[in-house]
Structure 1
C-alpha cells in the first residue's frame, strides 16, 4: 500500500466535501418508449445534446460510474445496462479551480515545526476546496500560513492534508508541511497508529453505556450522498464508545459520548451512532427521527444546526523526530452551550 493509498483508505472524509461532488447541474433526461432495450449510455446520449451539449459519451460513462445517474430514486452505476423508458436524473458537478489560493484566515495552532502543523479546525470550514466549497478552506489558510513549505503529496487541491474532518465537525487536525512527514503520517493512519477521540452529543442514549461497534461501512445503495452500514462490501470500521453523561432523567433525551476510533471511515462516528439508535444531535444527514420536544426547543433557541461532533484528542509519534505528541482541544462555544442547556433539562 502506498502512502497515497493509505491516505485515501483511512481518511476522515467530509461528505459535504466528498458529496460536494454531487453539487452542480441536475439534468432530467426522459427516455421515450422506443429507447427501451438500448444500451443505456447510448440512449442517454441521444437525448443529452440540448441539455448538456459539452458532455461526451466518455464523460457520461464516467459520471454514471461515479453514481451520478438515478432512475426512480435508484442509483445507476453501469452505462452498459439496458435502458428503460422514463425519467433519469444526471448530476453534472460544478467545475472547481485548478489551484487553491492562499487566504489570510485565522488558524488556531496547537503545534508547529518544520515538518507538520496541528490546528483546531472550526465547524463550518471544509478541509480543502471542492465543488460548492471553492475557498475559505483549511487548505487556503495553510497555504497562506505555510507558504511553499506545505507538502504537495496530497495533490494540488489538498496539499498537506493527511486526514479530514467533516466540514461541520470541529476539532484537532494535523497537516504535513514536508513530504517526509506526509509519508510518515499517512503510514501511521494506515496502520491505525493514531490516537483519536471525539465527543458526540446524541439523541437519547445507546442501550449499553460502553461498547465497541464494528461494521462494514460503504456508500449507501439508495443515496450516494450518504454512507451506511452494509451487510457486504464496504470497509471494516471500529468505534469504541463510552457514555459520559446523560440528560433528561431516567429516560435520557440526550447523552454525551466519547468515541475512540480504530479506523477513520467516511462519516464513521455519525453512521455508527445512528446505527446504535442514537444519532448525533443536529445531524442533517443521519439524524433520522426527531429528538424530544425540549431538545428540539433547545436546538432552535441556540440555532444549533450542525452535527454535535467534536474531535477532542489527537496523539501520534512524530514521523520525523520520534517524539510522542498528544493534543487536546475543548469543545467550541456552540457545543458547550448545547451541553449546558441539556444539563438543565
Structure 2
C-alpha cells in the first residue's frame, strides 16, 4: 500500500564499461592514485569510549575533534564537555576540567563517558516523509543532517527515533536497540531513501534482499569535474577495492587491495566544473561512495573529509539516495527528487526533469 505521511594505500582495480546507447561508446582509462589513503565514523556501543588523537588532528579544538570523531552535532559535543563527561590523558597527566576550546595533541587519549539510555526512544518531533508503507516495511526520506540511528546518551533526534514514534512495533526489530527497524543506514549528511522493517519477517526478507542484490539502491552525486578528465556524458566508471578504517584519520576509510566493494558511476550532466553522477554501490561499506569517487579524482562537492576543495557553496557533501526498489517481497519502487540545496549546485537553470530520472 502506497501512502504519504508527514510526520591502507594500495593499487586497486578500476575499469570503465560502455556508456548508454544514447551516447557514443566511451572507454576511459582511470588509474587509482596509489598514494590515496582516504576511516569510518566510530560509534559507541559502550559506557566509556576511548579515542586516541591521530597526527592529522593535532592542534584541533576539543569540541571539533569530538564532533568529527563521533559524528556529533556542535551542541552535543559542547554538552558532553560541559557535563564533565570527557576526560583527557596526556602522558601521565589526566585532565578532567576541560573546555570546548582546549586543543588536543597527537597521542592524547580521550575518554567519553556516555550516560543515559542505550537505545533509541520514540521522538514524535522527528517526522520523516513515508513514501511507501506495507504491513512488513516502509520506505522513508531522511533529510540531510539527521542521524540514521541513535548513539549512547542521545536516544532522540534521529531517524530511528522518529520511526519508532510512528511504528512502535519496530522496537523489537532490526540490528539492535540503537537503530530499531533500520535495514541499512545513510551518513548523517547524506539525504534520501531508507528502508525500515516493521516486523521480524519484514526485516529478514529485506536484509536477505540486500545481501542478494534484489534491493536496488541508486544515488545522485554532484562532484568536482577535473579539467581534461576525458570523461564524457554517458561514461560509466567502475572501481573495485576493499575498504578499512583509516588509523591516521578519525572517521575516514581508506582503500586497500581487494575487490569486495564495487562502485559504478554514470556521468549524467555537466555544469561548469561540476558534474552530476548516478551511482550504484550495492551492499556498501561505510563511506564507500565518498571514498571511491575521491580516489578516482572526482570528490563530492562539499566533502572536506575526502579532499574536496569545492566547499564554499555547499554546507554538506553532495550525495542523495534517490532510488530504492525491491524486486522481492515486500515489492516496492520509490524515487526521491534531488533536494533544492543540491540542485542549486548545478546552476540556477539546471533541470533534473530532462534526465528522465523522475
Asked whether the 8 Å contact 1:16–1:166 carries over to 2, the reply is: no
Encode CA deviations 1:161-187: one digit per residue, 9 max, x unaligned. Answer: 110001111111100100011112112
1:267 paired residue number: 287
Q: 1:325 offset after TM fit, Å? A: 1.8
Q: 1:96 offset after TM fit, Å? A: 4.9
Scaled by the length of structure 2, what TM-score is found?
0.66
Asked whether the 8 Å contact 2:119–2:150 carries over to 1, the reply is: no
1:285 paired residue number: 305
* CA 116–98 in structure 1, closer or farther in 2 if over 3 Å, else same: same
1:338 paired residue number: 345
Encode CA deviations 1:282-317: one digit per residue, 9 max, x unaligned. Answer: 11311x1523xxxx66x0xxxx31110000111113
Alignment of 1:171 with 2:206, yes or no, is: no
Q: 1:223 offset after TM fit, Å? A: 1.5
Q: Which runs of 5+ in 1 are unaligned?
A: 1-12, 32-46, 53-70, 74-86
1:4 paired residue number: none
Q: Which of 98, 101, 104 does residue 118 from structure 2 map onto?
A: 98
Q: Which of 192, 204, 211 does residue 225 from structure 2 map onto?
A: 204
1:20 paired residue number: 70
Q: How does 1:234-253 map to 2 (within 5 A)?
A: 236-248=260-272, 253=273
2:177 paired residue number: 156
Q: 1:14 offset after TM fit, Å? A: 8.1
Aligned length: 266
Whole-angstrom distance in 2 between the partners of 1:231 and 1:163: 25
Whole-angstrom distance in 2 between the partners of 1:143 and 1:166: 19
Q: 1:149 offset after TM fit, Å? A: 4.8
Whole-angstrom distance in 2 between the partners of 1:281 and 1:133: 29
Whole-angstrom distance in 2 between the partners of 1:96 and 1:228: 33
| Secondary structure at 1:15 match in 2 | coil
Whole-angstrom distance in 2 between the partners of 1:282 and 1:289: 6
Whole-angstrom distance in 1 between the partners of 2:224 and 2:134: 40
Encode CA deviations 1:90-113: one digit per residue, 9 max, x unaligned. Answer: 343533522322121222111111
| Secondary structure at 2:162 match in 1 | helix
Whole-angstrom distance in 2 between the partners of 1:132 and 1:342: 44
Scaled by the length of structure 1, what TM-score is found?
0.69
Q: Which runs of 5+ in 2 are unaligned?
A: 1-38, 45-68, 81-85, 98-103, 352-358
Q: 1:324 offset after TM fit, Å? A: 3.5
1:112 paired residue number: 133
| Secondary structure at 1:184 match in 2 | helix
* CA 16–222 in structure 1, closer or farther in 2 if over 3 Å, else same: closer
Whole-angstrom distance in 2 between the partners of 1:236 and 1:26: 38
Asked whether the 8 Å contact 1:16–1:167 carries over to 2, the reply is: no
Q: 1:340 offset after TM fit, Å? A: 2.9
Q: How does 1:1-345 map to 2 (within 5 A)?
A: 15=41, 19-20=69-70, 25=86, 27-31=88-92, 51=96, 73=106, 88-92=108-112, 94-104=114-124, 105-131=126-152, 133-205=154-226, 207-208=230-231, 209-231=235-257, 236-248=260-272, 253-286=273-306, 288-291=307-310, 299=313, 304-318=314-328, 322=329, 324-341=331-348
1:77 paired residue number: none
Asked whether the 8 Å contact 1:243–1:258 carries over to 2, the reply is: yes
Q: 1:246 offset after TM fit, Å? A: 1.4
Asked whether the 8 Å contact 2:240–2:263 carries over to 1, the reply is: yes
Whole-angstrom distance in 1 between the partners of 2:349 and 2:247: 35
